[in-house]
């Protein structure tokens, strides 16, 4: 049986196969970039048409009450919560990942300062973390409020000394897909007196996470942020989410104290009084059109279920590796060998990764390139087929064999890749 | 001739009358809350359908290049610029008003600190300014980086001493509609060594502003922010805009230094290097659906033209006052008497303002209430008719005369008003 035949048999037996029809995907395209921008749920355009024509157009300002726009950030946050092992009131949709990082890093520093008089100012992360995570630490550093410390993965636990206020890590690495042991790192941070903030951008919606229960019998994660436009399929630049463990709600204090995070926004008081719990993470008015689109994506992922998605994700990537092997392709895998040690992607190092990626795109196999030399293939399990794996491996084999990627047209880099 | 007849004659002669048809407005409703949420441009649902079905659905990740999503914040900012007297490269669409206030206040403090070693830490504003403006100062105060000082309108210039780093004022007051003399205050701030940041939320799209040219022969405003969902008709919670005068571009430094504000976001460097000019105000990924909706609103306002809008706005509010007078209604006007001294609204103080507002809403005359005792009627000139003015005055007269507002059903406050 050829790999393509095997793939078709796997698709026929796949309990998630039916969900592909719930996305509006272009004909003939194999989309391996759902970890950068998730696909369009079929319900989203109708939902937004309704929000625009009925809620905004007909009911205008009244929709803040009648369509409950005012609770949309909490409602969608509450739906994301079970996907990441949180309670509904611990998660809220707001702003972007970057802005939420700033809020939660600031909150962590303030909490630590109340304990020790601002001795702990270090935010510890790893070099090569997703850039915005580091840039937001550097923003606080410019303000004189934090010190960035970077340690390689295997040196992080040793770097957790008495100066570390917060450990900020991205659970699944955007480039390599390597996954941290959330339990071990969370426990190590806590044992060292540090708080921990997990960036779940490449995690949420692709696999289950147990923020609250990650350390058996002990306190779980303190904070988390995550992206709405990858595995949650919320659309380009979809708003992000933020998690704060309930035990920190009362002490939570963050400097982006806008009116929507006030206890009574419509009292129009001159003095800021924080709203209860995670509501105080709201700053300005939420972009309702974008949050409504996110809700459609989240509902669909919740319906499929993250446990099933994760199971299929691992099966897809392992099958893809078999297909590569069968096609005689040997590539330098930078993702972990073991499926449960990585996220929903496989990344390969190749000195011509950019051109390789472009040559695949020309064949309607859409992966992406991550500078300087990584070809990244994402396996969004909600809408990909085993057949896509077999065909991608075949395409990659042909592109490599016939030197197609060496064409001039694939050498020039576009603005965004 | 009755006021209604006069109104119809004015509408017949109104060069802007045709633009009402460019908005999707509910039948039989007089909408006087465009200063809270602007109406729906008829093109917006189709534009968003296209962004979703074609750009997101068909071209997926490629749309960052092919649909130029990556430049959308700059493009829409550049279209807002002429409405506020700025150059296109001085304005960008990003985040919310609140978040942009934080960025620009931080930038102003950093600029001042480089000049004087952080002696100037005061951000001066007025009590009763729109709450989020004050709350964001208070956020910086909690960080230990700023000191809030509030002075009443007539005492602001005297309060501009050597400690003031930045004067932050809302050009048109959200509650009263009172308009600051931008030229006088900008000059006074500069003369005192302070920078000035104008909140144009109730200004932009309703009247012309001359940020760069406001002080004849001298430097104009330093910074500004403004709202996308009021007179720009960008939809509920539409993204906001930010202005930085070109002379400050090189020195501009703000702590929300996310990856989209990096000089080369897709180089994925560990170290933040700011993008040129206002691009460095970007933080996370822009919510494309919401920014695209904003573009439709901005295009329509730009087509009508802010000079004509402002002329009509003044005519509408003056005619409304005539109608009130003709109907024998005397209400306590808290907005300035002179049309050119106020924004595109009239606000009245009444001890039962909330119930009055609700009674009008029950008659499909939608104004709003601002705590504790203000009935606020906004006159968005792009889609309101003189006839609406005559009918609103008539409705108000009847509601007051027959005591309709005293019904129980109008006494209980909803969550958002």
Which of B31, B40, B266 is the closest to A417 by Cβ? B266
Q: At B45, which helix (H) or strand (E)?
A: helix B44-50
Does the beta-carbon distance from B283 to A65 stay under 8 Å?
Answer: no
pLDDT tens per residue, range B293-315: 999 999 999 999 999 999 999 99
How far apart CA A229 and CA A291 sit, in angstroms, is 11
Query: SS3 for B368?
Result: strand
Q: In angstroms, what separates the C-alpha of B286 from chain A's closest C-alpha?
A: 5
Contacts of residue B66, Cβ cutoff 8 Å, sequence gap at least 6 = B55, B59
Please report, in tens digits, the pLDDT of each residue of chain A (417 residues total). 899 999 999 999 999 999 999 999 999 999 999 999 999 999 999 999 999 999 999 999 999 999 999 999 999 999 999 999 999 999 999 999 999 999 999 999 999 999 988 899 999 999 999 999 999 999 999 999 999 999 999 999 999 999 999 999 999 999 999 999 999 999 999 999 999 999 999 999 999 999 999 999 999 999 999 999 999 999 999 999 999 999 999 999 999 999 999 999 999 999 999 999 999 999 999 999 999 999 999 999 999 999 999 999 999 999 999 999 999 999 999 999 999 999 999 999 999 999 999 999 999 999 999 989 999 999 999 999 999 999 999 999 999 999 888 888 887 665 454
Closest Cα to residue B223, out of B193, B255, B246?
A: B246
- CATH architecture of the domain covering B3-31+306-410: Alpha-Beta Complex (3.90)
Which residues of chain B register pLDDT less than 70?
Answer: 412-417
Q: In angstroms, what separates the C-alpha of B417 from chain A's closest C-alpha?
A: 8
Residue B19 DSSP label: G
Residue A376 is a catalytic residue: yes
A75 near B CB under 8 A: no
Closest Cα to residue B386, out of B12, B1, B68?
A: B12
HSE, CB side, 13 Å, CA atoms: give it for residue A347: 24
Tell whether the torsion through CA atoms of B142, B147, B151 and B153 is positive or negative: negative
Does the beta-carbon distance from B267 to A371 stay under 8 Å?
Answer: yes
How far apart CA B103 and CA A219 sit, in angstroms, is 34
Q: Provide the pLDDT for residue A405.
A: 85
Interface test with A, best of B56, B133, B134, B236 (most A CBs within 10 A): B236
Contact B228, B240 (CB under 8 A): yes
Tell whether the torsion through CA atoms of B256, B259, B264 and B267 is positive or negative: positive
> Domain B49-303 classified CATH 3.40.50.1980?
no
Joined together, the tokens standing for residue A389 give 């794996």
- CATH architecture of the domain covering A3-31+305-410: Alpha-Beta Complex (3.90)
Within 8 A of A260 by CB-CB distance, chain B residues are 98, 132
Joined together, the tokens standing for residue A22 give 């719930």
Distances (CA, A) of A37 to A104, A231, A243, A278, A297: 24, 8, 22, 27, 12
Residue B316 DSSP label: H
Does the beta-carbon distance from A235 to B56 stay under 8 Å?
Answer: yes
B329 near A CB under 8 A: no
Q: In angstroms, what separates the C-alpha of A2 from chain B's closest C-alpha?
A: 31
- Strands A223-226 and A240-244, by their bridges, are antiparallel
Does the beta-carbon distance from A287 to B59 stay under 8 Å?
Answer: no
Q: In which residue are the tokens 């739906």 written?
A: A79
Q: Provide the pLDDT for residue A415.
A: 45
Q: Provide the pLDDT for residue A417.
A: 45
Interface of B with A in 369-388 (CB under 8 A): 370-371
Q: In which residue are the tokens 């400097």 written?
A: A255
Does the beta-carbon distance from B110 to A142 stay under 8 Å?
Answer: yes
Residue A207 DSSP label: B
Within 8 A of A22 by CB-CB distance, chain B residues are none
Contact B120, B86 (CB under 8 A): no
Residue boundaries of the structural domains of chain B: 3-31+306-410, 49-303
Tell whether the torsion through CA atoms of A151, A156, A159 and A164 is positive or negative: positive
Q: In angstroms, what separates the C-alpha of A84 from chain B's closest C-alpha?
A: 22
Which of A97, A99, A134 is the closest to B99 by Cβ? A99
């Amino acid at each position: 049986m050829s790999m393509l035949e095997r793939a078709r048999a796997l698709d026929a037996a796949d309990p998630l196969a039916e969900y592909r029809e719930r996305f509006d995907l272009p004909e003939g395209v194999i989309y391996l970039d759902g970890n950068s921008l998730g696909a369009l749920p079929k319900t989203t355009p109708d939902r937004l048409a309704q929000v625009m024509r009925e809620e905004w157009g007909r009911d205008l300002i009244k929709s803040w009450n009648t369509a409950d726009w005012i609770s949309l950030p909490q409602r969608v946050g509450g739906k994301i919560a079970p996907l990441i092992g949180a309670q509904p009131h611990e998660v809220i949709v707001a702003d972007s990942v970057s802005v939420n990082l700033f809020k939660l890093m600031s909150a962590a520093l303030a909490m630590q300062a109340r304990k020790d008089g601002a001795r702990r100012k270090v935010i510890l992360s790893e070099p090569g973390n997703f850039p915005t995570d580091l840039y937001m630490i550097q923003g606080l550093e410019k303000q004189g409020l934090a010190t960035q410390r970077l340690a390689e993965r295997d040196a992080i636990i040793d770097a957790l000394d008495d100066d570390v206020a917060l450990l900020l890590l991205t659970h699944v690495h955007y480039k390599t897909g390597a996954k941290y042991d959330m339990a071990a790192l969370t426990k190590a941070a806590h044992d060292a007196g540090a708080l921990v903030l997990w960036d779940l951008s490449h995690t949420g919606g692709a696999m289950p996470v147990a923020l609250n229960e990650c350390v058996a019998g002990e306190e779980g994660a303190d904070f988390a942020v995550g992206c709405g436009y990858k595995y949650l399929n919320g659309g380009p630049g979809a708003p992000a989410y933020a998690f704060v463990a309930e035990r920190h709600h009362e002490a939570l204090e963050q400097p982006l104290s806008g009116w929507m995070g006030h206890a009574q926004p419509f009292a129009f008081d001159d003095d800021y009084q924080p709203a209860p719990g995670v509501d105080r993470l709201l700053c300005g008015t939420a972009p309702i059109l974008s949050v409504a689109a996110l809700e459609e994506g989240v509902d669909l992922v919740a319906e499929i279920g993250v446990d099933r998605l994760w199971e299929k994700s691992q099966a897809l990537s392992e099958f893809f590796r078999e297909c590569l092997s069968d096609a005689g392709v040997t590539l330098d895998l930078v993702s972990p060998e073991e499926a449960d040690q990585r996220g929903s992607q496989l990344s390969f190092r190749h000195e011509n990764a950019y051109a390789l990626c472009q040559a695949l795109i020309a064949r309607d196999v859409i992966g992406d390139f991550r500078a300087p030399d990584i070809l990244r293939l994402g396996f969004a399990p909600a809408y990909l087929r085993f057949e896509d794996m077999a065909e991608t491996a075949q395409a990659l084999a042909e592109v490599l064999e016939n030197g197609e990627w060496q064409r001039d047209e694939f050498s020039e880099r576009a603005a965004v890749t």
